Structure 1
């Protein structure tokens, strides 16, 4: 019984601390010798001071941003977070001067916990998506597309203009899945009244992540309800580049 109560207390402490940390990024919830590892860049931050400085830089110096939490799991000694970082680029970041551009990119963080504190955190960030949004030439030139996803919409007669307008609106508001590249096509010959949304991804996992990070948003759901009446039918193709 005592062991069960201890486990329950550990779980309660971990949940309370991590939920508060997700909202505040207060480094009191990081162990004094805690380590953060950015697995995309190889950077490592050790101790509360370094971790705190890194978080402050991301959320308040390079960007004026907040984490939009999508999912999380917390147990006694582990935690997992899925979020979308949304904000404005206001300071130098990876050699790119402030652009004042709005950014939105997915991150996942895995945490090892001890006594309710973060012992180690591993950050998985879609840095290529972020750099593309910032207009980095190197990001554009280094993109590799292995899979093409085509969402093909057969439109009702006379609905092309309104459907195209809605797609343009969704792209301007960054409501569409985050892809390495994206273009909107229509028919020049052959079948008519089709809109084709083509997106490129290096891995299918990137495509799945893009869906989870955008298509569960309330704004996107509302937009989709407006788009559906213009569509007669639709289907999806996923193609793999082999040469």
Structure 2
């Protein structure tokens, strides 16, 4: 996919979001992007920090995938609604691995420009996760 420069049309925004969301393709995250974990208040700054966080969530703390329910796309903005679905295999939210299956509601609000995800607000319903592993 070629990098799109400048303001994103709805279609360009959709292309970046779909390519990124399909496999969490970190090459589509801007080098200086910021992901805000709303539940913890922690910010992940830069492609490498974001990639490390995503790897931990989907391959260490959980063996999981994002199940997309719907996306809403505008010019340079997008919202993804879905679930993180998988097995709790490592420490997450202060809870040691339980081996339990989880399905945790997820909403991510993205800002996309210049062909990259520039910023994201990640809303993972941690209280729901804690109920499932208790």
TM-score, length of structure 2 as denominator length: 0.89
Q: CA deviation at 1:9?
A: 7.2
Bigger Cα Rg:
1
Contact 1:101–1:134 under 8 Å retained in 2: yes
1:117 counterpart = 2:124: no
Structure 1 distance, partners of 2:125, 2:8, is 35
Change (3 A) 1:80 1:121: same
Equivalent residues, number: 130
Higher mean displacement: 78-87 or 93-102: 93-102
Contact 1:76–1:116 under 8 Å retained in 2: no
Structure 2 distance, partners of 1:22, 1:102, is 22
RMSD: 1.9
1:75 counterpart = 2:74: yes
Match of 1:104 in 2: 103
Structure 2 distance, partners of 1:23, 1:129, is 24
Match of 1:88 in 2: 87
Kindly indicate which of the two structures has a greater share of residues assigned to helix: 1
Change (3 A) 1:9 1:118: closer
Q: CA deviation at 1:128?
A: 0.4
Contact 2:16–2:117 under 8 Å retained in 1: no
Match of 1:54 in 2: 53
Gaps of 5+ in 2: none
Gaps of 5+ in 1: 1-5, 136-243
TM-score, length of structure 1 as denominator length: 0.51
